[in-house]
Amino acid sequence: MRVHFRTTHRRGHRRIVGALSAVLLGTAGATALPAAARTPEAPAPSDTTRTTSTAEAARLPDELAKTPPMGFNNWNSTQCRAEFNEEMVKGIADLFLDKGLKDAGYEFVNLDDCWALPERDENGKLVPDPKRFPHGIKSVADYVHSKGLKFGIYTSAGTKTCNENGFPGGLGHEMSDAQQFADWGVDYLKYDNCNNQGVDAKERYRTMRDALKATGRPIVYSICEWGENKPWEWASDVGHLWRTTGDISDTWSSMLSLLKQNLPLAPHAGPGHWNDPDMLEVGNGGMTDTEYRSHFSLWAMMSAPLLIGSDLRKATPATFEILANSDVIALDQDALGKQATVLAADSGRWTIVKELANGDRAVALFNETDQPQRITTTAEDIGLPRADRYRLRDLWQHRDHHTTGDISATVPPHGTTVYRAAADPHRAARVQQVRSPGTGWSFAPPLM
């Protein structure tokens, strides 16, 4: 979450990470190295990571977030404005059912900052703002649950939350706050990073993890420390997802920057522990529908949480069409849980590949540039077995066609063509071992 009094720090962080990503991935275009020269963009799992994986089984036996969470968060559309209130939250829950979003997989209706009063009560408990939530938080959670959905809430791992009004944070109140959330029926906690008093991030986030577990209620735990402490290296036994970036804004450049920061972190994502490049901006009006389709496609390819950030009460039919694309959602929710990797990037033409549980491959042909681009790859290059013919499903056109091996499209500016590709089972040749696309691959920094 970004707020005015934190803006300088957060934007500075984004510039630094963005500059690093530009070197690694090449903002003007990069070329994949030959196979013998490729080195991992993100470090391969170390002995520490393997130990963490063992610890994860012990620390997270709850089977939560086995696929990336899907739902809604109000921040991108309302921030702390007056329209963030009980009526809005209930209206979003209603629309999840009325517009088929629940059936598409969306289940969490989450509050962000500004739901509480600035002071705790005499017992140290959090107090919902009676103007925004006149019936209290439990009443809203009960309403969301009555729709067959789940309810989420927000606080910060500091003395205050991120808003300039200084709502109470969870630092030093972890056990009490966690129990209060559980008593209200909370199913998801977003835990931010403001006003943390310099306390070590691992300590702060583990303390709340233990407090949540002590309640006995299954609560998905979202770590939101903006990637500052590389949570992908230590948080797989702490939370179910962690932010890898600063805050998104509703612009093409912001979305592109966060994409490039998150793509290299693929080795660290998987069932129950996800890289989170922040919430969706689809429908908020700052990008074109073509750009929003790219945003949604690329987040799904990266196995990112899909948290709607627009006020669905004002959404256009095009917004609902993007958010409810079941073919694209299926990539995000694939049981294998493999984040996509970059197969090639050249002068703003990207080929991004995702391995799927049934052996299919998803391939996103993404055009970063301002001109139409022809982007081409092959079935063999994306990791499919050799066959006489392959089936391609265009996930935005919702059409199937066949190819003998070439996979290509003329992609409009800022557009993305997404195919689901498989060897035709009726004409497949003997399966031969082929290389897995992109695993641990990276790009050479541009020559200076």
Residues marked as catalytic: 192, 247
CA distances from 130 to 85, 127, 251, 321 (A): 10, 8, 34, 36
At residue 101, what are phi and psi to the nearest 5 degrees?
-70, -35
Question: Of 123, 140, 120, 124, nearest to 132 (Cα)?
Answer: 140
C-alpha–C-alpha distance, residues 130 and 77, integer Å:
21
DSSP code string of 238-260: T-SEEE-SS---SSHHHHHHHHH
- Name the amino acid, one letter, at 149: L
C-alpha–C-alpha distance, residues 21 and 348, integer Å:
14
Question: Of 303, 300, 342, 339, nearest to 29 (Cα)?
Answer: 342
The helix/strand/coil state of 151 is strand
DSSP code string of 377-412: EETTTTTPPP-S-EEEEETTTTEEEEESSEEEEEEP
